């Protein structure tokens, strides 16, 4: 296992950022990979790079990330799932933990037939998480999937989320080739959000390493 450090972000220039991501992923040439973010748009570039090896992509997120564009850009955290659906096909993506979305975006999700479950669905039936994550090749965990009580320092905090326990309860079942954890914005390494993200990463690393 090795840490390849930070990927340089060119603020406001997604094409250049994408180039940095792709150059780095090509250089790493890894069988398995974990990305830590940062803005959720990183997942668009990594999914695009690894697309031939991804049959199922699962995103854990409070939001739909399904706007066609946001702030005049098609490549932001607000369009992550939409771009990824365009790359992989709508039937190959699943959204888990949704609890904040505009009517228009919800209609788009339904029109395109994207499978999604709200945080309330999962609260009622946690086996949804197990079922959808266990055969996922790529799992993208937006820290706002968790309730703000557990992860307050994220890009777009949302109450009424799920507990970290519900994710960790499934750790034995998952076996992704690619995993990313994004949208953590902790002010210090000692913050609740940073410690939770680090703990989840540790558990995911252990699990992914076991399956090698
Ligand atoms: Mn997101």
Residue-wise pLDDT for 47-105, tens only, equals 999 999 999 999 999 999 999 999 888 888 999 999 999 999 999 999 999 999 999 99
pLDDT of 190 reads 93
Contact 81, 60 (CB under 8 A): no
The alpha carbon of 155 and the centre of ligand 1 are apart by a number of angstroms equal to 9
pTM of the complete model beyond 0.85? yes
pLDDT in tens, 114-168: 999 999 999 999 999 999 999 999 999 999 999 999 999 999 999 999 999 999 9
The alpha carbon of 39 and the centre of ligand 1 are apart by a number of angstroms equal to 8
Q: Which domains does the chain have, with CATH numbers?
A: 32-210 (3.40.800.10)
Q: Is the peptide bond before 157 cis (omega within 30 degrees of 0)?
A: no
Nearest to 177 by CA among 29, 30, 2, 26: 30
The alpha carbon of 209 and the centre of ligand 1 are apart by a number of angstroms equal to 26
pLDDT in tens, 165-188: 999 999 999 999 999 999 999 999
The alpha carbon of 65 and the centre of ligand 1 are apart by a number of angstroms equal to 6
Residue 3 main-chain phi, psi, to 5 deg = -100, 120
pLDDT of 72 reads 86
Nearest to 180 by CA among 209, 151, 137, 212: 137
Ranges 74-78, 139-143, 190-194, 201-205: which has the least confidence: 74-78
Secondary structure of residue 194 in the 3-state scheme: helix
């Amino acid at each position: 296992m090795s840490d390849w450090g930070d990927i340089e972000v060119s603020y406001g220039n997604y094409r250049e950022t994408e180039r940095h991501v792709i150059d780095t992923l090509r250089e790493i040439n890894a069988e398995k990979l974990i990305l830590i973010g940062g803005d959720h748009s990183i997942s668009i570039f990594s999914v695009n790079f690894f697309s031939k090896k991804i049959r199922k992509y699962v995103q854990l997120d409070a939001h739909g990330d399904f706007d066609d564009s946001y702030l005049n850009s098609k490549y932001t955290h607000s369009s992550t799932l939409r771009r990824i659906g365009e790359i992989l096909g709508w039937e190959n993506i699943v959204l888990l933990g949704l609890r904040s979305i505009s009517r228009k975006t919800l209609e788009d999700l339904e029109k395109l037939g994207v499978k999604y479950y709200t945080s309330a669905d999962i609260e009622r039936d946690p086996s949804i998480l197990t079922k959808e994550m266990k055969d996922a090749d790529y799992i993208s965990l937006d820290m706002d999937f968790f309730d703000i009580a557990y992860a307050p320092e994220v890009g777009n905090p949302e109450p009424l989320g799920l507990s970290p326990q519900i994710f960790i309860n499934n750790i034995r079942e998952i076996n992704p080739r690619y995993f990313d954890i994004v949208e953590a914005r902790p002010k210090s390494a000692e913050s609740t959000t940073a410690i939770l993200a680090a703990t989840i990463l540790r558990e995911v690393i252990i699990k992914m390493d076991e399956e090698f």
